[in-house]
A and B are shown apart, each in its own frame.
Chain A
C-alpha cells in the first residue's frame, strides 16, 4: 500500500482506536506527544511497528530525526517516495 496522506492517517487512526486514545481530527500540526496525541514511549514504539508493518519502513526507527507531529510522519514517507 502506498503511503499517501490518507493511508498514513488511517494507520494512525487505527492505532489510536486500539490504544483507546481519542482525538478529534488529525492535522499535519497535531503533536504526537504531550498535549497532542499524548503518546508515551511504548505507544510510540507500537505506532512505529504498525507503520513499518504497513509500509515497510517507519520514521521512528529509521535513524533520522524523530517525528514530532503527524505531518512529520507524512513527510518521512513523501521524502522516501521521491528519493
Chain B
C-alpha cells in the first residue's frame, strides 16, 4: 500500500464514552485510522485496543485537552505516528447544570476551559499539520442549546455558541488553504451527557421531536462523515443541526 493509499486519519477528542465513542466507532467502521483522547481510559477504549480487526488503526492517549500541553501532545503524537491529519472532530466537552445566579467559579472554569480553550488548543495544533498539507476537515461539536438556549445550561450554551463563531471565522481563515470547518449541533442524545435532564424533561423533549425519539451517536456520526468526506470541498462555515427536527 502506497502512502497515498493509506487510510485517512481522524482525531476525535473525548472519544472514550458517550457521543465521542460513537464517533470513534463510526470512523473506524469507515476505514479511518483514529486517534482519540480523554482524561482516563474506559472499557470501551480497552476493547478497541484489543480488537485485532482495527490493529494499527486505533490509538488512545490519556490527555485532558483543557490543558494546553496535553492538547498539543495529543495532536503531535498522532501527526508523528501517522504523518497526517485529515479530520479533526472537536468533541470533548462538558455540561454543568445550574442557574447563573448560583453558578460556581469551578464549574465556570471547567466548562469554559474544556469546551472553548480545549477546542482552540487542539485546533491550533492540528491546523498547522493541515496547513502544511493544504488539506483537512474540522468539525466542532456544538449543540442546539447554543442556538436556542436552555434554562439552567446558560454557560454550556454560551460555550457552544462560541464554537459556532469559531467555526465561521476559521472557515473564512482556512478555506483558501483547502481546509473546511463546520459545526454539527446535536439535539438531545441518549448518552451520558443528557443524564442531567430529569425524566419529565426527557419525555417532553421526545414528545416535541418530530422524529419521536432522542438522538443516537450514529445519527451525529453520519452528519460528520458527510461533512468530512474528501469529496466535500465546498460546504464550510455551516452549523448542521442534527436534532430529529426539534428546532425546525
Contacts and interface: CB of A to CB of B under 8 A. Distances in A.
A52 B128 contact: yes
Interface residues of B, number: 9
Contact of B132 (A42, A53, A61): A53
Interface in B109-153: 127-129, 131-132, 134
A53 to B, nearest CB: 4
Contacts of A45: 128, 131
Nearest to B133: A53
Contacts of B51: none
A46 B176 CA distance: 11
Contacts of B131: 45-46, 49-50
B73 to A, nearest CB: 14
A42 B177 contact: yes
A43 to B, nearest CB: 10
Interface in A40-56: 42, 45-46, 48-50, 52-53
A35 B113 CA distance: 41
A42 B173 contact: yes
A42 B132 CA distance: 12
Contacts of A61: 128
Interface of A: 18, 42, 45-46, 48-50, 52-53, 61
Closest 8 CB pairs of A and B: A53-B132, A49-B131, A49-B128, A49-B132, A46-B131, A50-B132, A45-B131, A52-B128
Interface of B: 127-129, 131-132, 134, 173, 176-177
